[in-house]
Amino acid sequence: MALTSDAGDEEERRTRLCEEFAGLTRTDNIVAQCYLAENDWDVERALKCFFDADMEKVFEKSLSHQEPLTKNQTVEEAKAPAPVSIDLMADSPGSSPQPPKDIDSGSRLTLISWNVDGLDTENLAERARGLCSYLVLYTPDVVFLQELIPPYVQYLKKRAVSYLIIEAGGEGGYFTGMMLKKTSVKLLESQIVPYPTTRMGRNLLMAQVTLRGAKVWLMTSHLESCKEHSGERMKQLREVTGQMLKAPDDVSVLFAGDTNLRDAEVVKVGLPIDVCDVWERLGRQEHCRYTWDTHANSNKSLPYTSRCRFDRVLLRPAAHPRVIRLDPDRMVLVGLEKLSCGRFISDHWGIYCSLRTTVNHTS
């Protein structure tokens, strides 16, 4: 009887693992069973194998695209194998993102925050190049990314060499990360703070840096998803703001990420008096309100319309006298143009934001 019970428990466990794998990869239980069985039913190994294989196929398809001969190109040159290294920092074919009229630099900290939807591997190579085209256009000091997968990170590390990339584990096969511009941001220390009661492996990625003389704590996270997990999401917001308040008063603290928060949830939790929502501080501009907009963004082809401000930027400026502090300056949404594949870089719009660095003269 014990053997029968053990066998039944194992079968139930494997069924649950197949459902989890299929949900994360948007495949079916047959595909899930194949990958899990090949990897001794280790979910992390199976997910890595799946994403590596799928990413490779996408990139191979991208590389196999042959351009017509140019006027001065010989047949032999055209037949030469395409270079293995793709310059992601070059503009994506068919995409025409417009840079801001005055790209901020010098006395400003600039950032991009984006849920890149790495779990959606369709057209992922072109979408990754699209992301990097924005890095070229905006040259942000910091990039906060959510829903990364390992192949996406490895690809960015090879192509966006002017950035140092740090990442957080967890979230099954996907996670968050930061890209720090080497010429302007100096990393002092980084850490991962787990959310004790998360059911989705979510956590808070933190980095202590200096930027143009300012001491800054950077934070990003992907808070619990789905309407039914409202309670956990609000707990995680409290953890984020609690960590922001722990910073010394000579440090500015900047959080940016996919919060999945509904406005009513933020009102219910309430932000500490020292922490501001940058979008609200800048006058609640309508043009950058909705970062998740299924009416304008067709990547998911959903049968309903949903418009939410899931992606947010929070700031706790330094309060100590005679130190450099950060103050909100401007915000726009990016990624609003379709790529040549007919899809957007992500199902989320990205946020581009700049903050002025000023000396605090309070006494």
Q: Which residues are catalytic?
A: 258
DSSP state of 100: P
Sign of CA dihedral 335, 206, 152, 174: negative
- In 10 A of CB 231, how many CB atoms? 11
Beta bridge partners of 110: 354
DSSP state of 286: G
As given in the structure block, the two tokens for residue 179 are: 């890209």
As given in the structure block, the two tokens for residue 357 are: 């660095």
As given in the structure block, the two tokens for residue 76 are: 């032999």
CA distance 240 to 144: 15
As given in the structure block, the two tokens for residue 121 are: 């591997």
The Cα-based distances of 53 to 47, 50, 60, 203, 353 in angstroms read 10, 5, 10, 27, 35
CA distance 65 to 6: 52
User: Which among 48, 56, 39 has a CA at the least distance from the CA of 173?
Assistant: 48
* Under 8 Å between Cβ of 316 and 245: yes
CA distance 164 to 158: 11
The Cα-based distances of 87 to 34, 115, 156 in angstroms read 34, 22, 10
As given in the structure block, the two tokens for residue 160 are: 């966006």
Sign of CA dihedral 146, 128, 52, 87: negative
CA distance 253 to 248: 9
CA distance 201 to 265: 21
